Amino acid sequence: MIKEIAFVAYPAKDVAALRDWYHEHLGVVFHQSMEEGGVVQFAESKIGDGYFSLMNHEWMHREPGSASGIAFEVDDLNATLAELRSHGMTIEDPYDTPVCRITTATDPEGNSVMLHQITVPH
């Protein structure tokens, strides 16, 4: 039946501003955007084998700030946190699980974003 995840989409009131924030703070490069009426309504980034998308909240029928669940993999969580915090980004202290280290931040629209570092391959 299901063969892969096509994309994960986060709702936004201002897709262009949120796209810029993800690029500036997390280095996410968006390869595709779609405008309607001169306003960016959709932006998409290919990350690994999947896609991370930002979409106008009215298209999604979801309020900005209602998304959670994306976990971006990083090579070194401590170094990533230090870099992001040096630019004024507020991020929770990481915690360890039996297989990873993980932390959570909030994007400007209020959506929850996790940063993840695998510690035990599985």
79-108 burial, b at 16+ Cβ within 10 Å, e below that, comes to ebbeebeeeebeeeebeeeeebbbbbbebb
pLDDT digits (tens, 9 = 90+) for 17-56: 999 999 999 999 999 899 999 999 999 999 999 999 999 9
Name the residue ranges covered by the structural domains of the chain.
Answer: 8-118
pTM of structure: 0.91
What is the pLDDT, as a whole number, of residue 89? 87
Helix, coil or strand: residue 72: strand
What is the pLDDT, as a whole number, of residue 13? 97
Q: Is the pLDDT of residue 64 over 90?
A: yes
What is the pLDDT, as a whole number, of residue 87? 86
Q: Where are the alpha helices (DSSP H) in 62-103?
A: 77-86
Closest CA to 20 of 46, 50, 35, 40: 40
pLDDT band at 62 (very low <50, low <70, confident <90, very high): very high
The CATH code belonging to domain 8-118 is: 3.10.180.10
